[in-house]
Amino acid sequence: MGSSIGTGSIRLWDGDSIRMLKPVKNRRALLVKEGTISQINLFSEGIPFQGKEIDVLVRITVFSGYRYAKVEAYVLSDESVQLVSGLNYNPNVKVVENEDNIISWGNHNSNTEVEVGAALILQESRF
């Protein structure tokens, strides 16, 4: 992957480059299991960004019996921040881009018949 962002990973965009969620003043995780879901909440607190400090929550939810995960990211500060995530783009992957989502799926490995998919869903109403 080199310097790319993995599918579902969350980073910050400073207008010119991608920044990781570090350094931080505090990082903690909370694992929750309720019914048919398991969830991990990753809190990154006190991230220096553009002269201010921000807090970010990344929530990953997996569902029993399904082969997918839901990744959500929330900025827990009053600052306006742009987040970046990754999707796979390679010759064996189909990509559909719409106004509020980007979907990629296909065979990511020529040694298997299994297709893998991912989607970014942009919820502008939350901005």
pLDDT tens across 20-51, in order?
A: 999 999 999 999 999 999 999 999 999 999 99
Separation CA 114–CA 6 (nearest Å): 19
- Residue/partner pairs of 113-119 with CB below 8 Å, 24 or more apart: 116/88, 118/7, 118/8, 118/87, 118/88
Residues of the chain with pLDDT under 70: 1-4, 6-7, 88, 108-110, 123-127
55 with 90: CB under 8 angstroms? no
Separation CA 103–CA 7 (nearest Å): 11
pLDDT for residue 4: 62
The reported pTM is 0.78
Contacts of 55 (CB under 8 A, 6+ apart): 43, 44, 45, 46, 47, 75, 76, 77
Separation CA 78–CA 98 (nearest Å): 28
